[in-house]
Structure 1
Amino acid sequence: MRRDVVARYALWSSAAAPVLLIGGWTLAAALQPGPSVQREGYDSLRDTISALAGYGAAHRWVMTLALLGVGACHLATARGLRPLATPARVMLGVGGAATVLAAAFPLPAAGTSGAHQTAATVAFVCLALWPALWRHAGGEPARPPVSVMVPATLVMVALVLGFTAALGAGVLAGLAERLAAGAQAVWPFVTVLLLRRSPRATLIRV
Protein backbone atom coordinates (compact mmCIF):
# COMPACT_ATOMS: atom_id res chain seq x y z
CA MET A 1 0.00 0.00 0.00
CA ARG A 2 1.53 3.30 -1.07
CA ARG A 3 1.98 5.94 1.62
CA ASP A 4 2.23 8.92 -0.74
CA VAL A 5 -1.33 8.72 -2.04
CA VAL A 6 -4.68 9.85 -0.67
CA ALA A 7 -7.41 7.22 -0.95
CA ARG A 8 -10.32 8.37 -3.10
CA TYR A 9 -12.84 7.49 -0.41
CA ALA A 10 -11.19 10.08 1.85
CA LEU A 11 -12.40 12.78 -0.52
CA TRP A 12 -16.00 11.62 -0.19
CA SER A 13 -15.89 10.93 3.55
CA SER A 14 -14.32 14.31 4.31
CA ALA A 15 -16.87 16.08 2.10
CA ALA A 16 -19.76 14.23 3.74
CA ALA A 17 -18.81 15.16 7.32
CA PRO A 18 -19.77 18.87 7.22
CA VAL A 19 -22.87 18.10 5.15
CA LEU A 20 -24.05 15.59 7.76
CA LEU A 21 -23.24 17.84 10.69
CA ILE A 22 -24.70 21.09 9.38
CA GLY A 23 -27.61 19.39 7.68
CA GLY A 24 -28.26 17.36 10.82
CA TRP A 25 -28.39 20.25 13.24
CA THR A 26 -30.47 22.33 10.80
CA LEU A 27 -33.08 19.62 10.28
CA ALA A 28 -33.12 18.54 13.92
CA ALA A 29 -33.61 22.13 15.12
CA ALA A 30 -36.44 22.64 12.64
CA LEU A 31 -38.22 19.55 14.02
CA GLN A 32 -38.21 20.81 17.61
CA PRO A 33 -41.53 22.10 18.95
CA GLY A 34 -41.95 25.82 19.43
CA PRO A 35 -42.18 27.56 22.81
CA SER A 36 -45.18 26.86 25.02
CA VAL A 37 -46.42 27.66 28.49
CA GLN A 38 -44.62 24.59 29.86
CA ARG A 39 -41.28 24.95 28.12
CA GLU A 40 -39.05 27.17 26.05
CA GLY A 41 -38.52 26.34 22.42
CA TYR A 42 -35.15 25.23 21.09
CA ASP A 43 -32.88 28.16 20.25
CA SER A 44 -29.93 27.42 17.94
CA LEU A 45 -28.06 30.47 19.22
CA ARG A 46 -28.45 29.44 22.85
CA ASP A 47 -28.80 25.65 22.96
CA THR A 48 -26.13 23.10 22.11
CA ILE A 49 -26.01 20.55 19.33
CA SER A 50 -25.94 17.77 21.91
CA ALA A 51 -29.38 18.85 23.17
CA LEU A 52 -30.79 17.91 19.76
CA ALA A 53 -29.63 14.32 20.30
CA GLY A 54 -30.54 14.21 23.99
CA TYR A 55 -33.43 12.28 25.49
CA GLY A 56 -35.46 15.46 25.92
CA ALA A 57 -35.39 16.33 22.22
CA ALA A 58 -38.08 15.60 19.66
CA HIS A 59 -36.94 13.34 16.83
CA ARG A 60 -33.57 12.92 18.54
CA TRP A 61 -32.66 10.19 16.07
CA VAL A 62 -31.95 12.85 13.42
CA MET A 63 -29.03 14.42 15.28
CA THR A 64 -27.92 11.07 16.68
CA LEU A 65 -27.56 9.61 13.18
CA ALA A 66 -25.84 12.78 12.00
CA LEU A 67 -23.24 12.58 14.78
CA LEU A 68 -22.68 8.88 14.17
CA GLY A 69 -22.18 9.63 10.49
CA VAL A 70 -19.76 12.47 11.17
CA GLY A 71 -17.70 10.27 13.47
CA ALA A 72 -17.60 7.48 10.90
CA CYS A 73 -16.55 9.96 8.21
CA HIS A 74 -13.63 11.20 10.33
CA LEU A 75 -12.52 7.61 10.93
CA ALA A 76 -12.62 6.86 7.20
CA THR A 77 -10.81 10.09 6.34
CA ALA A 78 -8.09 9.37 8.89
CA ARG A 79 -7.51 5.98 7.31
CA GLY A 80 -7.38 7.42 3.81
CA LEU A 81 -4.96 10.27 4.52
CA ARG A 82 -1.93 8.06 3.96
CA PRO A 83 0.60 10.84 3.21
CA LEU A 84 0.18 12.16 6.74
CA ALA A 85 2.22 10.93 9.68
CA THR A 86 0.58 8.41 11.99
CA PRO A 87 0.07 10.78 14.98
CA ALA A 88 -2.07 13.17 12.92
CA ARG A 89 -4.17 10.35 11.51
CA VAL A 90 -4.58 8.72 14.92
CA MET A 91 -5.70 11.98 16.52
CA LEU A 92 -8.23 12.59 13.75
CA GLY A 93 -9.47 9.02 14.15
CA VAL A 94 -9.77 9.39 17.92
CA GLY A 95 -11.76 12.56 17.35
CA GLY A 96 -14.10 10.61 15.09
CA ALA A 97 -14.45 7.75 17.57
CA ALA A 98 -15.16 10.22 20.38
CA THR A 99 -17.88 11.81 18.24
CA VAL A 100 -19.50 8.40 17.86
CA LEU A 101 -19.32 7.91 21.64
CA ALA A 102 -20.83 11.34 22.25
CA ALA A 103 -23.82 10.19 20.20
CA ALA A 104 -23.90 6.83 21.96
CA PHE A 105 -24.06 8.54 25.38
CA PRO A 106 -26.76 11.18 24.89
CA LEU A 107 -27.65 13.90 27.36
CA PRO A 108 -30.49 13.01 29.75
CA ALA A 109 -33.78 14.87 29.63
CA ALA A 110 -32.58 16.89 32.62
CA GLY A 111 -29.09 17.45 33.95
CA THR A 112 -25.80 16.38 32.43
CA SER A 113 -23.97 13.19 31.49
CA GLY A 114 -20.36 12.66 32.50
CA ALA A 115 -19.82 10.11 29.72
CA HIS A 116 -21.21 12.46 27.10
CA GLN A 117 -19.19 15.41 28.35
CA THR A 118 -15.99 13.36 28.37
CA ALA A 119 -16.56 12.06 24.85
CA ALA A 120 -17.48 15.52 23.53
CA THR A 121 -14.41 17.08 25.18
CA VAL A 122 -12.06 14.48 23.67
CA ALA A 123 -13.68 15.00 20.26
CA PHE A 124 -13.32 18.78 20.36
CA VAL A 125 -9.71 18.64 21.57
CA CYS A 126 -8.55 16.02 19.06
CA LEU A 127 -10.33 17.59 16.11
CA ALA A 128 -8.80 20.96 16.96
CA LEU A 129 -5.22 19.76 17.44
CA TRP A 130 -4.67 17.10 14.78
CA PRO A 131 -3.57 19.55 12.04
CA ALA A 132 -0.59 20.56 14.20
CA LEU A 133 0.75 17.01 13.84
CA TRP A 134 0.56 17.09 10.05
CA ARG A 135 3.81 15.81 8.61
CA HIS A 136 4.64 13.63 5.64
CA ALA A 137 4.55 9.94 6.47
CA GLY A 138 8.23 9.76 5.56
CA GLY A 139 9.12 12.36 8.17
CA GLU A 140 9.23 15.41 5.91
CA PRO A 141 6.65 18.19 6.32
CA ALA A 142 3.62 17.52 4.16
CA ARG A 143 2.36 20.25 1.91
CA PRO A 144 0.95 22.82 2.44
CA PRO A 145 3.61 23.98 4.91
CA VAL A 146 3.34 24.79 8.57
CA SER A 147 2.33 28.34 7.61
CA VAL A 148 -1.09 26.92 6.75
CA MET A 149 -1.51 24.19 9.35
CA VAL A 150 -0.48 26.10 12.46
CA PRO A 151 -2.93 28.97 11.87
CA ALA A 152 -5.68 26.43 11.21
CA THR A 153 -4.96 24.75 14.54
CA LEU A 154 -4.86 28.08 16.37
CA VAL A 155 -8.18 29.15 14.88
CA MET A 156 -9.89 25.90 15.86
CA VAL A 157 -8.42 25.98 19.36
CA ALA A 158 -9.64 29.56 19.74
CA LEU A 159 -13.11 28.55 18.59
CA VAL A 160 -13.21 25.68 21.09
CA LEU A 161 -12.09 28.00 23.90
CA GLY A 162 -14.74 30.48 22.81
CA PHE A 163 -17.38 27.77 23.00
CA THR A 164 -16.17 26.76 26.46
CA ALA A 165 -16.41 30.36 27.65
CA ALA A 166 -19.85 30.83 26.09
CA LEU A 167 -21.08 27.59 27.65
CA GLY A 168 -19.88 28.69 31.07
CA ALA A 169 -21.45 32.13 30.71
CA GLY A 170 -24.64 30.78 29.21
CA VAL A 171 -24.49 33.28 26.37
CA LEU A 172 -24.70 32.23 22.70
CA ALA A 173 -23.32 28.78 23.51
CA GLY A 174 -25.17 27.24 20.56
CA LEU A 175 -23.67 29.67 18.09
CA ALA A 176 -20.16 29.26 19.52
CA GLU A 177 -20.42 25.46 19.38
CA ARG A 178 -21.61 25.54 15.79
CA LEU A 179 -18.69 27.72 14.75
CA ALA A 180 -16.19 25.38 16.44
CA ALA A 181 -17.79 22.11 15.31
CA GLY A 182 -18.37 23.42 11.80
CA ALA A 183 -14.74 24.45 11.37
CA GLN A 184 -13.56 21.07 12.65
CA ALA A 185 -15.88 19.22 10.29
CA VAL A 186 -14.73 21.22 7.26
CA TRP A 187 -10.98 21.06 7.84
CA PRO A 188 -10.43 17.38 6.91
CA PHE A 189 -12.03 18.14 3.53
CA VAL A 190 -9.74 21.14 3.10
CA THR A 191 -6.82 18.87 4.00
CA VAL A 192 -7.69 16.39 1.27
CA LEU A 193 -8.02 19.17 -1.30
CA LEU A 194 -4.67 20.67 -0.31
CA LEU A 195 -2.95 17.29 -0.42
CA ARG A 196 -4.30 16.71 -3.91
CA ARG A 197 -2.30 19.74 -5.01
CA SER A 198 0.90 18.40 -3.48
CA PRO A 199 3.39 16.95 -5.98
CA ARG A 200 4.12 14.13 -3.56
CA ALA A 201 0.58 13.13 -2.71
CA THR A 202 -1.89 12.06 -5.37
CA LEU A 203 -5.44 10.77 -5.25
CA ILE A 204 -6.02 7.18 -6.30
CA ARG A 205 -9.09 4.99 -6.55
CA VAL A 206 -9.20 2.54 -3.65
Structure 2
Amino acid sequence: MPRGRLAPADSADTTLLELEQTAEQIHQLEEVELELAKQLGMSGEDIDSVAVLLKTKNKVLSNGDYSSTLGRPHKLHRLRLQYSRCQRSLPVELEVCPSLPDPPHHVDASRFWAILIGIDDYTYYPLHGCVSDVRSMERYLTEVLGIPSDRIQLLLGSKEHASPEDPMKPSRDHITGALLSIITNSQIAHGDVRDRRNLEKVN
Protein backbone atom coordinates (compact mmCIF):
# COMPACT_ATOMS: atom_id res chain seq x y z
CA MET A 1 0.00 0.00 0.00
CA PRO A 2 1.46 3.44 -0.87
CA ARG A 3 2.72 5.41 2.09
CA GLY A 4 0.26 7.98 3.40
CA ARG A 5 -2.80 6.20 2.00
CA LEU A 6 -5.39 4.76 4.37
CA ALA A 7 -7.04 1.43 3.77
CA PRO A 8 -10.83 1.64 3.35
CA ALA A 9 -11.41 0.20 6.84
CA ASP A 10 -8.93 2.66 8.41
CA SER A 11 -10.53 5.54 6.53
CA ALA A 12 -13.99 4.57 7.78
CA ASP A 13 -12.70 4.31 11.37
CA THR A 14 -11.14 7.77 11.07
CA THR A 15 -14.39 9.20 9.74
CA LEU A 16 -16.40 7.60 12.55
CA LEU A 17 -14.02 9.06 15.13
CA GLU A 18 -14.36 12.49 13.52
CA LEU A 19 -18.15 12.15 13.56
CA GLU A 20 -18.10 11.26 17.25
CA GLN A 21 -15.89 14.23 18.15
CA THR A 22 -17.93 16.62 16.01
CA ALA A 23 -21.20 15.37 17.51
CA GLU A 24 -19.86 16.06 21.00
CA GLN A 25 -18.94 19.64 20.07
CA ILE A 26 -22.33 20.14 18.42
CA HIS A 27 -24.11 18.93 21.56
CA GLN A 28 -22.22 21.43 23.72
CA LEU A 29 -22.95 24.34 21.39
CA GLU A 30 -26.60 23.36 21.06
CA GLU A 31 -26.99 24.20 24.75
CA VAL A 32 -25.61 27.66 23.98
CA GLU A 33 -27.97 27.93 21.02
CA LEU A 34 -30.93 27.04 23.23
CA GLU A 35 -29.99 29.76 25.71
CA LEU A 36 -29.62 32.32 22.91
CA ALA A 37 -33.02 31.34 21.56
CA LYS A 38 -34.60 32.00 24.95
CA GLN A 39 -32.92 35.42 25.11
CA LEU A 40 -34.33 36.20 21.67
CA GLY A 41 -37.85 35.22 22.73
CA MET A 42 -37.87 31.95 20.82
CA SER A 43 -39.19 28.92 22.62
CA GLY A 44 -40.13 25.36 21.87
CA GLU A 45 -38.25 22.13 21.35
CA ASP A 46 -37.84 22.53 17.57
CA ILE A 47 -35.80 25.71 17.38
CA ASP A 48 -35.00 27.17 13.98
CA SER A 49 -31.20 27.22 14.09
CA VAL A 50 -30.93 29.51 11.05
CA ALA A 51 -33.33 32.00 12.65
CA VAL A 52 -31.27 31.98 15.85
CA LEU A 53 -28.08 32.62 13.88
CA LEU A 54 -29.59 35.46 11.84
CA LYS A 55 -31.28 37.15 14.80
CA THR A 56 -28.11 36.91 16.85
CA LYS A 57 -26.12 38.38 13.95
CA ASN A 58 -28.54 41.28 13.55
CA LYS A 59 -28.49 41.97 17.28
CA VAL A 60 -24.68 41.95 17.46
CA LEU A 61 -24.27 44.10 14.33
CA SER A 62 -26.77 46.65 15.60
CA ASN A 63 -24.61 47.04 18.70
CA GLY A 64 -21.48 47.34 16.55
CA ASP A 65 -19.69 44.61 18.47
CA TYR A 66 -18.63 41.25 17.06
CA SER A 67 -18.38 39.09 20.13
CA SER A 68 -18.22 35.44 21.04
CA THR A 69 -22.02 35.55 21.18
CA LEU A 70 -22.05 35.49 17.38
CA GLY A 71 -18.97 33.31 17.06
CA ARG A 72 -20.55 30.32 18.76
CA PRO A 73 -23.64 30.08 16.49
CA HIS A 74 -21.32 30.42 13.49
CA LYS A 75 -19.13 27.62 14.82
CA LEU A 76 -22.20 25.44 15.42
CA HIS A 77 -23.31 26.02 11.83
CA ARG A 78 -19.86 25.03 10.50
CA LEU A 79 -19.76 21.91 12.67
CA ARG A 80 -23.15 20.79 11.39
CA LEU A 81 -21.96 21.15 7.82
CA GLN A 82 -18.79 19.25 8.68
CA TYR A 83 -20.84 16.47 10.30
CA SER A 84 -23.04 16.19 7.22
CA ARG A 85 -20.00 15.96 4.92
CA CYS A 86 -18.45 13.24 7.08
CA GLN A 87 -21.65 11.23 6.98
CA ARG A 88 -21.70 11.36 3.19
CA SER A 89 -18.10 10.14 3.02
CA LEU A 90 -18.83 6.91 4.87
CA PRO A 91 -18.81 3.82 2.65
CA VAL A 92 -22.21 2.27 2.02
CA GLU A 93 -22.63 -1.44 1.51
CA LEU A 94 -25.61 -2.41 -0.60
CA GLU A 95 -27.02 -5.89 -0.27
CA VAL A 96 -29.10 -7.20 -3.12
CA CYS A 97 -31.99 -9.23 -1.80
CA PRO A 98 -33.11 -12.02 -4.11
CA SER A 99 -36.62 -11.36 -5.31
CA LEU A 100 -39.18 -14.08 -5.56
CA PRO A 101 -40.53 -14.74 -9.04
CA ASP A 102 -43.86 -13.04 -9.59
CA PRO A 103 -46.79 -15.25 -10.45
CA PRO A 104 -47.86 -15.02 -14.09
CA HIS A 105 -50.20 -12.09 -14.62
CA HIS A 106 -53.06 -12.53 -17.03
CA VAL A 107 -54.35 -9.45 -18.83
CA ASP A 108 -57.97 -9.62 -19.92
CA ALA A 109 -57.69 -7.42 -23.01
CA SER A 110 -61.45 -7.34 -23.46
CA ARG A 111 -61.74 -5.28 -20.27
CA PHE A 112 -59.51 -2.44 -21.49
CA TRP A 113 -60.56 0.90 -22.94
CA ALA A 114 -58.00 3.57 -23.81
CA ILE A 115 -57.73 7.18 -24.97
CA LEU A 116 -54.31 8.17 -26.31
CA ILE A 117 -53.50 11.83 -26.91
CA GLY A 118 -50.34 13.07 -28.60
CA ILE A 119 -49.73 16.63 -29.79
CA ASP A 120 -46.82 17.75 -31.97
CA ASP A 121 -48.30 20.54 -34.08
CA TYR A 122 -48.32 23.60 -31.82
CA THR A 123 -48.43 27.07 -33.35
CA TYR A 124 -45.52 28.12 -31.16
CA TYR A 125 -42.74 25.74 -30.10
CA PRO A 126 -43.93 22.63 -31.99
CA LEU A 127 -42.85 19.30 -30.59
CA HIS A 128 -41.57 16.11 -32.18
CA GLY A 129 -42.27 12.55 -31.14
CA CYS A 130 -45.55 12.80 -29.21
CA VAL A 131 -47.66 11.50 -32.10
CA SER A 132 -45.19 8.69 -32.85
CA ASP A 133 -45.22 7.77 -29.14
CA VAL A 134 -49.00 7.44 -29.30
CA ARG A 135 -48.72 5.22 -32.36
CA SER A 136 -46.17 3.05 -30.55
CA MET A 137 -48.45 2.80 -27.53
CA GLU A 138 -51.34 1.86 -29.80
CA ARG A 139 -49.28 -0.97 -31.32
CA TYR A 140 -48.31 -2.18 -27.85
CA LEU A 141 -51.92 -2.24 -26.69
CA THR A 142 -53.20 -4.04 -29.78
CA GLU A 143 -50.28 -6.31 -30.72
CA VAL A 144 -48.86 -7.18 -27.29
CA LEU A 145 -51.83 -6.93 -24.94
CA GLY A 146 -54.39 -7.85 -27.58
CA ILE A 147 -56.79 -4.98 -26.91
CA PRO A 148 -59.32 -4.58 -29.75
CA SER A 149 -58.58 -1.50 -31.85
CA ASP A 150 -62.16 -0.27 -31.50
CA ARG A 151 -61.53 0.09 -27.76
CA ILE A 152 -58.75 2.62 -28.40
CA GLN A 153 -59.48 6.24 -29.30
CA LEU A 154 -56.67 8.37 -30.74
CA LEU A 155 -56.40 12.16 -30.66
CA LEU A 156 -53.38 13.27 -32.70
CA GLY A 157 -52.10 16.82 -32.98
CA SER A 158 -50.35 16.64 -36.35
CA LYS A 159 -50.64 18.34 -39.72
CA GLU A 160 -52.62 15.35 -41.01
CA HIS A 161 -55.36 16.04 -38.46
CA ALA A 162 -55.51 19.84 -38.56
CA SER A 163 -59.11 20.21 -39.74
CA PRO A 164 -61.55 21.22 -36.95
CA GLU A 165 -63.99 18.61 -38.31
CA ASP A 166 -61.45 15.79 -38.03
CA PRO A 167 -62.56 13.63 -35.06
CA MET A 168 -58.91 12.81 -34.33
CA LYS A 169 -57.92 16.48 -33.90
CA PRO A 170 -57.15 16.98 -30.17
CA SER A 171 -59.24 20.10 -29.70
CA ARG A 172 -60.57 20.95 -26.28
CA ASP A 173 -64.07 19.79 -27.25
CA HIS A 174 -62.80 16.50 -28.68
CA ILE A 175 -60.65 15.78 -25.64
CA THR A 176 -63.47 16.62 -23.23
CA GLY A 177 -65.89 14.50 -25.24
CA ALA A 178 -63.48 11.55 -25.33
CA LEU A 179 -62.94 11.65 -21.58
CA LEU A 180 -66.65 11.92 -20.89
CA SER A 181 -67.30 8.97 -23.19
CA ILE A 182 -65.31 6.75 -20.85
CA ILE A 183 -67.78 7.67 -18.12
CA THR A 184 -71.00 7.50 -20.12
CA ASN A 185 -70.25 4.62 -22.52
CA SER A 186 -72.82 1.93 -21.71
CA GLN A 187 -70.54 -0.76 -23.17
CA ILE A 188 -67.97 -0.21 -20.43
CA ALA A 189 -68.80 -2.63 -17.64
CA HIS A 190 -68.04 -2.40 -13.95
CA GLY A 191 -64.41 -3.40 -13.37
CA ASP A 192 -63.21 -2.53 -16.88
CA VAL A 193 -59.88 -0.71 -17.05
CA ARG A 194 -59.99 2.86 -18.32
CA ASP A 195 -56.62 4.16 -19.49
CA ARG A 196 -56.09 7.83 -20.35
CA ARG A 197 -52.64 8.75 -21.68
CA ASN A 198 -51.83 12.35 -22.57
CA LEU A 199 -48.37 12.66 -24.07
CA GLU A 200 -48.43 16.45 -24.08
CA LYS A 201 -50.31 19.30 -22.48
CA VAL A 202 -53.69 20.44 -23.79
CA ASN A 203 -53.79 23.91 -25.34
TM-score for both structures, normalised by structure 2: 0.22
TM-score for both structures, normalised by structure 1: 0.22
Larger radius of gyration: 2
Q: Which has the higher strand share?
A: 2
Greater relative CO (CA pairs within 8 A, separation 6+): 1
Q: Which has the higher helix share?
A: 1
